[in-house]
Amino acid sequence: MRILVVGAGATGGYFGARLALAGRDVTFLVRPRRAEVLRRRGLRITGLGTEEVLDPRWVTADRLDGTYDLVLLTVKATALGPALDDLAPAVGRDTVIVPVLNGLAHLDALAGRFGAGRVFGGVAKVLTTLNGEGDIVRLAPPATLTLGETGGGTTPRTDRIGALLGGVPGMETELSADVLGAMWAKWALIVTVSSVNLLGRGTVGEVVAVPGGVRLGPAVLAEAAAVADAAGHPLRAEHRAATAALVTEDGSPLTTSLYRDVVAGVHSEAEHLFGDLAARARTLGVSTPLLDLATLQLRVAESQVTPRQQVLSVPSAATGTSPGRTP
């Protein structure tokens, strides 16, 4: 089966490399600038005391030919629109698209463009980043892809995709009968940590260290959990406990990539993660005052991004400060 990995950054590059090294038929769909890095250096994975170099098969959108059995979509939400245009020629009658973006809004965009029957839900958990050379740096061992039918349950094609992605050293693949529940759990985690960073203007540890700061994270989590519950995907007790522990940890240096984008003055996934959640909360009749305040701050920050700031910040975005598909 032919696999197209859209994006060769910290997330797509890692999982795609693992699959290619395990003998899967993998092609990366990349933009010209990333193609130049791959041409010069190959796809390099370092960290945790190891280094691997892969000479990957890659293609730019203008040279994409033929359809693929599986498309693994790993771009950020800010690049979703162009990515859909780029990957369109790769989608055939039986193609399955597995997006691992955070949030849920992209599912509607994909279904509207390619048909809901071609779209799986997906969650990536991996601690990787890009360094200044464009290499992938692994920061911690976990690397898991969770995927499944958005309608729930398991099907023969779920099993086929699971077999294709399973048994690969350096990554785990989990088939979920409730992948939307898994996506809601990660969404709640990201908006909770991001809200602590945004409203507290600092790391989790800095917020927790001041009087009253330790109560902020659990309060935001309660709002996010209420929205998930009203949407029919209540957070499991272990997910709530794990998120609560993250946002109340003394001395934690934790920040999200969204918060780091705001600090850097570049466009973030504000609407995809916060605007969409706020809209769903209103539709469901759930009160979310803290999430609404964080959404307002993000929208103000978005309005202040200038084209010059965005261009000047592009090189620094590859310096390795933003772990891929982590909170």
Q: What's the pLDDT tens digit per position in 166-211?
A: 999 999 999 999 999 999 999 999 999 999 999 999 999 999 999 9
Q: What is the DSSP string of 85-96?
A: HHHGGGEEEEEE
Q: Using CA atoms, how far apart are residues 325 and 323, in angstroms rounded to an integer?
A: 6
Q: Are residue 138 and residue 257 in the same domain, yes or no?
A: no
Q: Measure CA of the first residue to CA of the last residue in the chain; give whole Å.
A: 31
Structure-block tokens of residue 310:
């965005």
Please indicate whether residue 320 or residue 2 has the higher confidence score (pLDDT).
2
Q: Are residue 231 and residue 164 in the same domain, yes or no?
A: no
Q: 132-146 pLDDT, tens per residue?
A: 999 999 999 889 999
Domain boundary, last residue among 160, 177, 194? 177
Give me the phi and psi of 29, to 5 degrees please.
Answer: -100, 115
Name all contacts of 164-169 with Cβ < 8 Å and 24+ positions apart.
164/1, 164/3, 164/24, 164/69, 164/70, 165/19, 167/22, 168/18, 168/19, 168/22, 168/24, 169/18, 169/21, 169/22
> Domain of 276: which CATH number?
1.10.1040.10
Q: Using CA atoms, how far apart are residues 190 and 206, in angstroms rounded to an integer?
A: 18
Asked if residue 310 has pLDDT above 90, the reply is no
Other Cβ atoms less than 10 A from the Cβ of 308: the count is 9
Using the 8-state DSSP alphabet, how is residue 231 labeled?
T
Residue 148, pLDDT score: 98
Categorize the per-residue pLDDT at 308 as very low, low, confident or very high, splitting at 50, 70 and 90.
low
Bridge partner list, 47 = 50
Q: Are residue 131 and residue 51 in the same domain, yes or no?
A: yes
Over residues 34-39, mean pLDDT: 96
Residue 316, pLDDT score: 29
Asked if residue 317 has pLDDT above 90, the reply is no
Structure-block tokens of residue 44:
């390099």
Q: Are residue 168 and residue 48 in the same domain, yes or no?
A: yes
Asked if residue 122 has pLDDT above 60, the reply is yes
Asked if residue 324 has pLDDT above 90, the reply is no
Q: Are residue 202 and residue 120 in the same domain, yes or no?
A: no
In a domain, 325, yes or no: no
Q: Are residue 169 and residue 186 in the same domain, yes or no?
A: no
Residue 327, pLDDT score: 57
Over residues 47-65, mean pLDDT: 95
> Looking at the 3D structure of the chain, how many domains does it have?
2
Q: Are residue 72 and residue 213 in the same domain, yes or no?
A: no
Q: 239-285 pLDDT, tens per residue?
A: 999 999 999 999 999 999 999 999 999 999 999 999 999 999 999 99
In a domain, 327, yes or no: no
Residue 325, pLDDT score: 39
What are the percentages of helix, strand and coil residues in the chain, rounded to 5?
50, 20, 30
Q: Using CA atoms, how far apart are residues 67 and 295, in angstroms rounded to an integer?
A: 39
Asked if residue 312 has pLDDT above 90, the reply is no
In a domain, 324, yes or no: no
Residue 103, pLDDT score: 98
